[in-house]
A and B are shown apart, each in its own frame.
Chain A
Amino acid sequence: MALDVESHYRRYGPQVLRRCRYLLRDEAQAVDAMQDVFVELLRYQDRLRSVAPSSLLHQIATHVCLNRLRGTRRKPEDAEDERVLQIADSESLEGRTFAQRALDALFGRVPASSKEIAVLHFVDGMTLEQTAREVGMSVSGVRKRLRGLAAVLKELEAEP
């Protein structure tokens, strides 16, 4: 059965837009990204895992926004924004090719990219266990992924 975009948007759209606003800090871009998030949800509707839609949309929104932020040259608005920009622009072990495939990977049970994991853990404040559940990985797998962002980790962990 086809995904009912309108009812999903009515229920989850506001949280997705807030997520995009928070990560992108630009209203027009956030609205555009929010629609892309639902496009991706529609694209992968047949492969949706039995996870809560809010969790899945949170991850897709993170992915979409990180892709848009990569290479962005703007002044961070606050410490959280700075973290997001650092993560978005970091070079992970998987490299950019992996990042481009990350959404496919997300639905294909291949672990999400290190950057997405880093945002969930360092920016959203999820514990390692919560992060692991969100991305369908083991805690040790999440730790391993985070080590892929060693340079970013070092800076973020040094912060109070």
Chain B
Amino acid sequence: MKLPVTVALALRDLRGGVRRFRVFVACLALGVAAIAGVGSLGAAVRAGIAADARTLLGGDLELRQIYSEITPEQRAFISSRARLSEVAQTRTMARRVDNAQRRLVELKAVDQLYPLVGAVRLQPELDLHQALAQKNGQWGAIAEHGLFDRLGLKVGDEIVIGKTHYVLRAELKSEPDRGVQAFFGPRVLIALESLAATGLVQPGSLVYRHYRLALTDPLEAKNLADTLKEQFPDAAWRIRRLDEAAPGLQRFVTRTELYLALVALSALLVGGLGVAHAITAWLETRIETIATLKSLGADRGMVFRIYLLQAGVFALLGIALGLLIGIALPFLAAVPLGERLGIGIQATLYPAPLALASVFGVLTAALFTLAPLARAAAIAPSMLFRDLVAPGAARLSARSLIGLAALVLMLAGLLIATASDRGLAIGFVVGALAAVLTFRLAAAAMTWSARHAPKLPNASWRLAVANLDRPGSATASVVLSLGLGITVLTVVLLVEESLRKEIERTLPAAAPTFYFIDVQPEQREEFRRLVTTWPEASGYDEVPMLRGRITRLKGVPADKVKVSPDAEWVLQGDRGITWAPSPPKGTKLVQGKWWAPDYSGRLLVSFDAESAAGLGLSIGDSVTVNVLGRELTAEIANLREVDWSQLGINFVMVFSPGTLQSAPQTALATVHVPPGQEDRLERAVSERFANISAIRVEEALATLGRILAGVGRAVQAVAAITLAAGLLVLAGVAAALRRRRIYEAVILKVLGATRADLLKALALEHLLIGLATAAIAALFGGVAAYALLRLAMELPFRFSPLPMSLAALLSIGFSLVFGIGGSLRALSAKAAPYLRNP
């Protein structure tokens, strides 16, 4: 078969040169693999959530309300249409019978039908309801390993929850409807029938009631939900269907995926630099061939097409390899990640993220090969033989520049169009462009300084400095690729460190040691006396607390109101609310006035100013809140500034006294005790008040820290891929320069340079590159981390020298390793073979 001449020439020209494309293929494969992997994994997790929706929800529909049970009328109505299972959940203390140890636990009381979907796994393998049943007058309980561990118990031992003793009959290995929840303690399962005996259910206690409904025809779920809304319009419940089985997990996955995708994209961009460098190095070896082809009649277009074809074939190979890795990732991660998230990851092939990764790959390959290809095609044959010193110096044509700009716009447009947070995507595009520009300028400044530096007295020093500005020098490529990799790593480490410090910082200074929840009205006096007279306790604070859900804003149903993303959380689920006659201490009013202490008019509310802005609310607007099944509408009287980072008692909404005063409610109290004194106070409270739960702020923050660390590890892993892409570029640069370095070393040796002279010059050159790169990466990484924290996360930036130092060390280390490592052969090369006459 006769191939078209362009194809035939492209193939012939590749003979013996395929190895030179290794870095090209690897760089593209790495970037595409990162994007395809993150996308596929995200899709697999979402598919897992959808597939497990029924299990996660615990049925086809779930009704959830706080405090009270559903009415007998509601129960009868539901039971006639579906199988109904009831679960009650609350946080409480579990303690040893001798009260020597206690632990906050996530208590779940289940009925005989639980679980409607899926199964509970126990160790030893017992029947769940047998294990929970009352035997010889004693109820059974099942707990996660953490409780056994913390209280020093084994199966068969007793624990006390509230006023009731339970026998621990098994260890809980897994529960089907757990999903990912921020647990403050181990899970304990008990029988719903035994809950009343614990005394934990008091008016106003934070007990969440979940009613799971299983239907004979699951497709009827929507109709039943509509019927329930119609039949019981004032019901306190919130109905969840299968498509919102795990909204928290969905949000978590979407958010994490976006951050990972952005870091993956930076890996692809750094890989693009490797692509550009590899194709440039390849084309430099083809100059003679191009010149010959041109002298034989090949026009510019044909030369462009020949090398575009070669680049295209290897780009497709790189993209295909990347996609294969991306496809494999969900299969590899299914088990460990599934266990962590509590869902079955659906490991299969997801075309959409793969297609997106391919388009990113093609655009990146096109963007980074266009300029070298255009330059090679544009060089006149007469120049090619003469101007071997500085190939690639030809200016790009207007057409090529327009092509480059179009590719940049397409890449940016694709990213912004497909990102779940456009603002963040735009920020990334601006940041990436600024980073490339900064490092380009920095490299230019370095070469300019090297050119204009005074002649140094030491030969090695002068050689090192002069090497930075040689024609065809790799300074720009190294500074840009290493710099971008190190910058991404710096940003990731700085953001993580800032978050970690933010958590730590608030702890000793402002945060209370304990939150005590569910303090009953009749217990308040005695509880307050116990805690405030406790010798080491200080900073006691106490407020009434209820749970309420915003149902309407300015009369419009909350689910119909468009709100800014950073205020969405206010409308999600129940919020703690309180009431107060006078401004709680530390209140900073930013607008409006507080009501008089003896105010008793229509209900007013003080709103967090930032949340109000996000929800589009201002003074005078109405907010309707469902509290204990009752709709209460209040007028916004003032706006407050709330500093959530202080971890003290804070509420989005503080109501005026009156209506809420008479509602069943509990108190929330906070107190500070010095480190080491926590156990004694906790024991004293739990001995006296079995129903009051103590949440240790330190432990809650540790839980938060663990979740953050998990996400941090994932982001770090992808950032490491970016750095790996940068190192691939360095390896490519070193390989491309190796021949020239060896030749130069040989000549220098002929002229009297020792190996030590050469090594010193090499080390100094790469030390300078590493140092300059580190300085700019630290500076730019710092600015980017600051912007990300302040603008995207609205958290303070905390400077930390450790990530900066680590990034600097890596930058210098990698520059030295790749710079010297790549040229070590040059030091020991025998001179004669290079000097013999041709």
Asked if A pairs with B, the answer is no
Using a CB–CB cutoff of 8 Å, the interface residues on chain B facing chain A are none
